[in-house]
Amino acid sequence: MTDSPDRPAAHKFVLRPGAPSLPGVRLDARWRVPVYMGRRLPKALAPYAASVFSWEWMIQDVLNGRMPPPVVARERPPLREYQHEPVKLIQNAHASQAPGFLLAYPTGSGKTAMCICATHDLPDVRRVLVVTKLDVVPAWRRAISYFGSGGKRWVVINPEQLWRLFFHPLRPLNSLPVDKAAEFAAQGGILHFPFDVVIVDESHMLASPASLRSRTVQRLLLPEHGTNRRPWFLRASASPFSNPGETAYLDDLLAHAAGVDAPGALSRAGYQEWLSSLGFTLNTDHTRRWFHDLNGDDVNKLNHLLFSRGVGTTATAEELGLPSMTRELRPVELSPDDQVQYESAWSEFRAQYGLEAVDDVLDSTSEALRRVQKASLLKAPKVAQIVAGLVEEGYQVVVPAWYLDSVSAIARLTAAALKARGLPDRVVEITGADRHLRERKRQLFQAGHALVAVTNSLEGVNFHAGERGGAGNGRDATQSPRACVIADVLTGGRRILQAEGRTHRDGQRSQTVYVFAENTLEEEWLARVLRAAAGTQALVQSPRDAQDLMDLAAQLTGAVDGRPGQ
């Protein structure tokens, strides 16, 4: 008996991991994914359906004989005026056989749209892989649907899931624990399907070449089996590096621009020697740190190699007509009792605050971190009052923090401060501990149902005003002005720029307030972090922003002679 025209044919539905073992669900022997065979997906399995542009979605089409995907003709949504030039530069780099490209445009400039549209007209490109942070995966999939796939097969995946794209000649990866499978994939994995273009969003996450994600991404870039054909590597980041030593993941671009061979895997010292051979001076201060104000020649050298030789592009917010960042330092004076608490032993401090005991064996860096956390917790009541005051002025406020203890304390105290002022005490906590609720909580904030979001998610989550579809169910985010109150001193210049960018993006202005405890190690640490952030901005040719950050750092104790290690 054949299927009637009005009845759909049997279909293999690939399900996401964690799908229940209901009748009709089996584990595919080759791909090791749960599959349901039927005409329609049962209602109980609908939440586990493969997401569009996911790895499961691609395997579903493989099992159903739908490779490559059908080309769907559609009119492309318009780009902003300034986005056309970088799209053209990306395409020119591909045509010139450069190994890749760095798109170092500022937060909120629409790098996702530029990357997608740049691939549409690339010749001989069938498959495109996007590697991005877990929280940004849905946004990339929505953007591809909006701007169009260009008739190409797209897979969007987070770095921790990359191992699933590989098989190993000696190890059955799908039957190993995830950490073991990921390590074997990075060491000797072979791709199930080659990709023609690999896009790494937030590419600064590859700054440590020894990390598992960096080694796995490098594995993606090996030549296709039996050929010399390599994927083309497109990186995008608003904060790609804070010093030249963090450019190892761009060594192919630097080598191409300099007309030399790429150095391959090197130790940190070996990579610095290679940079020296290219003409970098890499001067450091008395603490052995590279700062841009000591290295004008290095700034110019990096600009020449990356942004003047066809392998990268950058621009300032001012050049693009985007609002400039507004930053403010807000010191908090500890009371005499709090100052005593700050100087107390770590275990005693934790016990007084009712926190779990931790190992008291310290090195110099962990000692510095714990002193910074003391200041963070002690100033939490003042942070709550600052946040409540901004809400009273009409802002929706995002509070990036680092420590989970700080997130919890600030959220609780802020709710109380809002209630005391007669304001709705709607505060959401968004952390890595509640991944299944993170998007729902974010949408509550974007819809205006929560006025404050306290979070330790510093990348890949958007809180800006007017975000398209940001409130869920097709609704845009509120237009209420945003403020970003950075409650913890965050290590690393790139990290604080990413934290600022959660609200100051997509052309929406947001003010940033840095709250710090006076006369503590936190103040000295903040000075150094601001200087590191200035280095990031100087290296992506944003001298005005670099100077603004240096001016802030100069206002703090320990701007030059601070002690903490980074």
DSSP 8-state assignment for residue 57: H
The pLDDT assigned to 341 comes to 79
Q: What is the mean pLDDT of residues 55-83?
A: 82
The residue with tokens 């989550």 is 461
Structure tokens at 256: 């191409």
Q: Choose the final residue of a domain: 219, 240, 261.
A: 240
Verify that 13 and 94 share a domain, yes or no: no
| pLDDT reading at 231 higher than 70 | yes
Q: What is the pLDDT of residues 92-104, one digit of tens each?
A: 999 999 999 999 9
Verify that 497 and 370 share a domain, yes or no: yes
Verify that 341 and 234 share a domain, yes or no: no
| pLDDT reading at 5 higher than 70 | no
Domain membership of residue 559 (yes or no) is no
Q: How far out from the chain centre does Cα 301 lie? A: 26
d(CA 264, CA 363): 33
Verify that 92 and 13 share a domain, yes or no: no
Domain membership of residue 368 (yes or no) is yes
Q: Choose the final residue of a domain: 212, 240, 268.
A: 240
Structure tokens at 149: 């796939």
Domain membership of residue 196 (yes or no) is yes
d(CA 170, CA 186): 14
**Beta carbons of 511 and 545 less than 8 angstroms apart:** no
pTM equals 0.86
Q: Choose the final residue of a domain: 190, 210, 240.
A: 240
Domain membership of residue 308 (yes or no) is no
The pLDDT assigned to 70 comes to 58
Q: What is the mean pLDDT of residues 228-240?
A: 93
**Beta carbons of 261 and 255 less than 8 angstroms apart:** yes
Q: Model confidence at 12, in pLDDT bands (50, 70, 90)? A: very high
Q: Which amino acid is at 8?
A: P
Across 136-145, 339-348, 416-425, 456-465, which has the greatest mean pLDDT? Answer: 416-425
Verify that 131 and 6 share a domain, yes or no: no
Q: For residue 121, give the 3-state DSSP assignment.
A: coil
The residue with tokens 């600030």 is 410
Nearest to 286 by CA among 528, 530, 553: 528
Q: Model confidence at 305, in pLDDT bands (50, 70, 90)? A: very high
Domain membership of residue 345 (yes or no) is yes
- How many independent structural domains does the chain possess? 3
Q: What is the pLDDT of residues 67-77, one digit of tens each?
A: 766 565 566 78
d(CA 407, CA 427): 11
d(CA 181, CA 372): 36
Verify that 94 and 216 share a domain, yes or no: yes
Which residues is 326 bridged to in the sheet?
511
**Beta carbons of 30 and 192 less than 8 angstroms apart:** no
Q: How far out from the chain centre does Cα 340 lie? A: 38
Verify that 92 and 202 share a domain, yes or no: yes
Verify that 168 and 218 share a domain, yes or no: yes
The residue with tokens 């974007």 is 446
Q: β-strand 25-27 against 34-38: which pairing, if any?
A: antiparallel
Verify that 40 and 86 share a domain, yes or no: no
Verify that 4 and 96 share a domain, yes or no: no
Domain membership of residue 452 (yes or no) is yes
Q: Which long-range contacts (CB under 8 A, 24 or more apart) does 282-287 make?
A: 282/244, 282/245, 285/560
Nearest to 462 by CA among 136, 238, 205: 136
Verify that 370 and 419 share a domain, yes or no: yes
- For residue 18, the enclosing domain spans 1-25+36-45
Q: Model confidence at 371, in pLDDT bands (50, 70, 90)? A: confident
Largest CA distance in the chain: 86
Q: What is the mean pLDDT of residues 263-268?
A: 86
d(CA 299, CA 293): 9
* pLDDT, greater one: 325 or 272: 272
d(CA 331, CA 327): 13
Nearest to 271 by CA among 284, 288, 254: 254
d(CA 513, CA 536): 19
Which residues is 314 bridged to in the sheet?
104
* Other Cβ atoms closer than 10 A to 254: 26
Verify that 333 and 425 share a domain, yes or no: yes
The pLDDT assigned to 564 comes to 34
The pLDDT assigned to 104 comes to 96
The pLDDT assigned to 389 comes to 95
For residue 550, the domain's CATH number is 3.40.50.300
CA angle 386, 508, 233 (to 5 degrees): 115
Q: Model confidence at 46, in pLDDT bands (50, 70, 90)? A: very high
Domain membership of residue 303 (yes or no) is no
Q: Model confidence at 21, in pLDDT bands (50, 70, 90)? A: confident
Domain membership of residue 457 (yes or no) is yes
Which residues, 6+ apart, have CB-to-CB distance to 261 below 8 Å? Answer: 255
Radius of gyration of the chain (CA): 25
Cα dist from 513 to 224, 400, 485, whole Å: 49, 11, 5
